[in-house]
Amino acid sequence: VSNPVSFKAKYGPWALIAGASMGIGRAFSHSAAARGLNVVMLARGAELLEEIAAEVRAEHGVEVRALAADLADPHIGDVVAAATDDLEVGLFVYNATVAPAGRFIDVPLDVQLLSVAVNCATPVILCNLLAPAMAARGRGGIGLVSSTGGTQGSINFGTYNAGKAFEWILAETLWAELGPAGVDVATILVGPTSSPNYNAFKDTLDPALCNKPDSPLPLDRARARLMDPSTPQEVAEALYDQLGQGPVLFSRPTDGSIIADTLALPREEAVAVWRELQETSTHVPERQAR
């Protein structure tokens, strides 16, 4: 674990976590507070958000501000600016997502566009809002939470995987441009992680297909990983510990090796790996990120 004093000096005094009230986002909030940062926690559902904000405040003794807002709102930049204009935000984590599952032609256009707004437009809006001040100060950190799914197309996750690819490539550019100004930017290509959304998906998996963790094939290793999800805290610590160590981070080394092997394949084979990974599911989950 990186030294909390230097973490706070580099990325304090305030963190903004976009998508903060559940699962991985809740862990990002706790872990930032545990490292001594005050936290602005943003999510839509005000009641749960207030509850988790109180939990973070009580556990870590930092200041916490709960901001109930919708990241699909095209005016979200103004909303966040108004709520944070008296604060020095040194760490920004973009965690929320919209992940409509289903064949592209079956998913309604308004849902696809919601996904594009939350996964693509709003990270641009909020980086545009927060990065200039970080660069002017000569310090800060930005984490865009992507997915191992963002490195190839896949059946059933058209706009989601494309949006995760957008966050990945945006983070690489920001890393290259802002690094020399002292601002650490990274994406974390998250693998299976036991958030409420993932737990609903995990219930649909066929375990008999997922018992070959030592296979040389990326599909077998990716399937085994489905049955052995990260904890949200593992993901949060991985981003914070590795921020400043390169543009693309993983929460487990095995995710990096699965992705390296998949990216080395011809594209049709990479897409096929992800198709078969989706087909590890026996039915549609009851819950989806939306």
Ligand X SMILES: NC(=O)c1ccc[n+]([C@@H]2O[C@H](COP(=O)([O-])OP(=O)(O)OC[C@H]3O[C@@H](n4cnc5c(N)ncnc54)[C@H](OP(=O)(O)O)[C@@H]3O)[C@@H](O)[C@H]2O)c1
What is the binding site for ligand X (CB under 6 A)?
Answer: 19-25, 42-45, 70-72, 95-97, 118, 145, 147, 164, 190, 192-193, 195-198, 289
* Smallest gap from residue 181 Cβ to ligand X (A): 25
Please say which residue, 48 or 265, places its beta carbon nearer to ligand X: 48
Strand order across the beta sheet in which 38-43 lies: 64-68, 38-43, 14-18, 89-94, 140-147, 183-190, 248-249
Between CA 202 and CA 88, with CA 114 as vertex, the angle to 5 degrees is 90
* Residue 93: closest CA among 34, 45, 28: 28
Torsion angles phi and psi, residue 79, rounded to 5: -65, -45
* Smallest gap from residue 144 Cβ to ligand X (A): 8
Please say which residue, 10 or 277, places its beta carbon nearer to ligand X: 277
Please say which residue, 71 or 131, places its beta carbon nearer to ligand X: 71
Torsion angles phi and psi, residue 45, rounded to 5: -70, 105
Query: DSSP string covering 95-161, please?
Result: -------S-GGGS-HHHHHHHHIIIIIHHHHHHHHHHHHHHHHT-EEEEEEEEGGGGS--TT-HHHH
CB of 203 closer than 8 Å to CB of 264: no
Q: What angle separates helix 109-116 from helix 158-178, to the nearest 10 degrees?
A: 20
Rounded CA-CA distance 21/96 in Å is 10
* Smallest gap from residue 71 Cβ to ligand X (A): 3
Rounded CA-CA distance 86/107 in Å is 41
Please say which residue, 10 or 107, places its beta carbon nearer to ligand X: 107
* Smallest gap from residue 186 Cβ to ligand X (A): 14
Please say which residue, 46 or 135, places its beta carbon nearer to ligand X: 46
Please say which residue, 118 or 186, places its beta carbon nearer to ligand X: 118
* Smallest gap from residue 201 Cβ to ligand X (A): 7
Based on the number of CB atoms within 10 Å of its own CB, is 173 exposed (0-12), middle (13-18) or buried (19 or more)?
exposed
* Smallest gap from residue 127 Cβ to ligand X (A): 15
* Smallest gap from residue 129 Cβ to ligand X (A): 15
The residue number whose beta carbon is nearest to ligand X equals 23
Please say which residue, 108 or 196, places its beta carbon nearer to ligand X: 196
